Amino acid sequence: MRIGHITLANRLFAAPMAGVTDRPFRQLCKRLGAGYAVSEMVTSRKDLWSTLKTSRRADHEGESAPIAVQIAGTDAAMMAEAAAYNVARGAQIIDINMGCPAKKVCNQWAGSALMKDEPLALAIVEAVVAACAPHGVPVTLKMRTGWCESARNAVALARAAESAGVAMVAVHGRTREQGYKGDAEYGTVTAVKRAVSIPVVANGDIDSPAKARAVFEATGADAIMIGRAAQGRPWLFNEIAHHLATGEAAPPPRTAEVREWLLEHLDDHYRLYGEFAGVRSARKHIGWTLRGLPGGEPFRAAMNAIESCAEQARAVGEWFDRLAERMPVMPACGADAERVAAIH
């Protein structure tokens, strides 16, 4: 699997998610089987680049290659400048955000709202490609199937993007109008794959090894991108890789292993965010990991009252020690058979 001249470790990608895919989380996903991970979106507004929020999003210290940064905005010249800025800070791949359905993004006509204005979308693509080309940095595009049910224009945009020099497109199987409601559809992904010669990535509702295999088979996609399903369970990438290679279910990780992965992630997270922000922003990652585990909800409620990073990490470690005594192996995850069959 290649993006331009860059060869990736495998065909399993961690999707860019605002407030989630910071450097510590990207590194965790890569460690647990993701061949590629894209940063949460960085604004193209120059006046915000010096803010703490943006500087953290653009932090790649110690990150394993390739370093991929997603940029978002509505002005072609500003997007080109943002691309050059991030390349100078270490980005090896620039991804253009035309997939985010969030109102605060779309109300500014950024993210998936750009799909409603194809000339502007193409102008942005052309400007970003031109800014990256002198540095040998490939440009990718992440988008939805369209703005709404009656305007599924992903195929047209993918063709135009390929002609403009984009090296890869990722398609989330929902319209902007859907947000994250309903089920993702993969027919549009299949149509995009048939329409272009660059790699195409399928995204949306891929939450198990069986579902991953089904999406690959149904769409012919070159790679799959996993977002929400990796929250709290980043070892899903290893589970999928094992299943694709052997056809068998991977043995679920031991509870003690998950404890170590989570504590190492928390340490990295605290180092990036500091004491005050770190203990608070870590709560969601811990909560996702606790989801569905026996006694997880009561502990989560108690953990959310902790104000110290050291105390939070200690509490998490002790809780998982107790869990490991009762449940040495984490529960396996499988997709609903009817949903998997429906893909075909």
Q: Transcribe 214-238 into DSSP letters.
A: HHHHHH--SEEEE-GGGTT-TTHHH
* Angle, CA 171 vertex, CA 166 and CA 174 arms, to 5°: 150
The residue behind tokens 């009252």 is: 305
Among residues 100, 106, 132, 309, the one annotated as catalytic is: 100
Burial (CB count <10 Å: 0-12, 13-18, 19+), residue 129: buried
Backbone φ, ψ for residue 207 (5° rounding): -130, 10
Q: Which of 40, 36, 38 is nearest to 18 (CA)?
A: 40
CA distance 28 to 18: 16
CA distance 158 to 143: 9
The alpha-helical segments, DSSP class H, found in the chain are: 23-31, 52-57, 76-88, 103-106, 118-132, 154-164, 187-195, 209-219, 236-246, 255-290, 296-303, 309-326, 337-343
Backbone φ, ψ for residue 97 (5° rounding): -85, 110
- Cβ pair 141, 98 in contact under 8 A: yes
- Cβ pair 252, 329 in contact under 8 A: yes
Q: List, in sequence order, every residue forming a beta bridge with 143; answer none if it has no partner.
A: 98, 171
Q: Is 100 a catalytic residue?
A: yes
Question: Up-side HSE of residue 133: CA atoms within 13 Å toward CB?
Answer: 9
Q: Transcribe 13-70 into DSSP letters.
A: EEPP-TTT--HHHHHHHHHTT-SEEBPPPEE--GGGTTSHHHHHHT--TTPPSP-EEE
Provide CB contacts within 8 A for 270, sequence distance 6+: 278, 279, 282, 309, 313
Q: Which residues are catalytic?
A: 100
